[in-house]
């Protein structure tokens, strides 16, 4: 059992690369069934202002797509709730997506994992992981905030915004970016039979 769970709510974003389907699982604040403009309900953001769930998800996917190449597409968004840390996850809303990656980064991407390492206001880890990640032709050196791209800064700002309801598993707001790391994912290497 992990120290923190996915209650009270979380979003699953499904994407499919040239090689396999993958997903992001991102905790949120408590979900509200009433929609504002979309059809997926809403949240009360960190700044206590309601935000439409569909808008919040669409805005995040818009920031995520720049880290996927055109052979990768975001295909589905789902919102789940959990009444308690050990309660079953309940699917509350879903939306089909057709958002194609826009990264022009060359180099290898098969089985490459890109991880955005951040911290919450309580100092706990928050990670955004990309699989089959086009990391360009550079080395696998860790990137620190001083070398972040405009796209990385935009993604971090979106996740950390007080106008959104994204959260860490500790139910705190994400607020500090530490690094971006790239590595080969050994589980994917086996799955893809890369030797």
Predicted local distance difference test score (pLDDT) of residue 3:
66
Residue 96 has pLDDT above 60, yes or no: yes
Structure tokens at 164: 């959104």
Residue 19 has pLDDT above 60, yes or no: yes
How many other CB atoms are found less than 10 A from the CB of residue 194?
11
- In the chain, where does DSSP find H-type helix? 53-64, 150-160, 186-191
CB 71, CB 110: distance < 8 Å: no
Pick left, alpha or beta for residue 171 (phi over 0 → left; psi -120 to 50 → alpha; otherwise beta): left
Angle of CA points 53, 55, 135, to nearest 5°? 105
CB 78, CB 186: distance < 8 Å: no
Mean of pLDDT values over 159-182? 97
Q: Which of 98, 103, 108 is nearest to 14 (CA)?
A: 98
Tens-digit pLDDT profile for residues 103-135: 998 788 999 999 999 999 999 999 999 999 998
102 preceded by a cis bond (ω within 30 of 0): no
Tens-digit pLDDT profile for residues 24-82: 999 999 999 999 999 999 999 999 999 999 999 999 999 999 999 999 999 999 999 99
Residue 1 has pLDDT above 90, yes or no: no
Going edge to edge, which strands form the sheet with 90-100?
21-28, 9-16, 73-81, 90-100
CB 1, CB 86: distance < 8 Å: no
Residue 2 has pLDDT above 80, yes or no: no
Instruction: Give the alpha-carbon dihedral of 12, 126, 69, 184, to 10 degrees.
Output: -110
Predicted local distance difference test score (pLDDT) of residue 154:
98
């Amino acid at each position: 059992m992990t120290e923190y769970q996915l209650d009270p709510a979380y979003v699953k974003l499904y994407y499919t690369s040239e090689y396999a389907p993958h997903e992001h699982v991102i905790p949120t604040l408590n979900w509200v069934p009433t929609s504002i403009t979309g059809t997926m309900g809403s949240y009360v953001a960190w700044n206590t202002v309601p935000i439409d769930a569909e808008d919040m998800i669409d805005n995040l996917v818009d920031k995520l797509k720049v880290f996927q190449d055109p052979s990768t597409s975001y295909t589905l968004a789902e919102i789940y709730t959990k009444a308690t840390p050990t309660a079953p996850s309940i699917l509350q809303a879903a939306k089909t997506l057709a958002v194609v990656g826009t990264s022009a980064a060359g180099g290898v991407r098969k089985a490459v994992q890109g991880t955005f390492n951040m911290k919450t206001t309580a100092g706990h880890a928050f990670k955004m992981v990309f699989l089959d990640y086009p990391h360009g032709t550079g080395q696998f050196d860790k990137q620190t905030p001083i070398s972040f791209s405009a796209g990385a800064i935009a993604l971090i700002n979106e996740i950390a915004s007080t106008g959104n309801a994204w959260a860490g598993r500790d139910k705190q707001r994400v607020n500090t970016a530490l690094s971006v790391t790239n590595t080969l994912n050994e589980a994917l290497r086996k799955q893809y039979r890369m030797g």
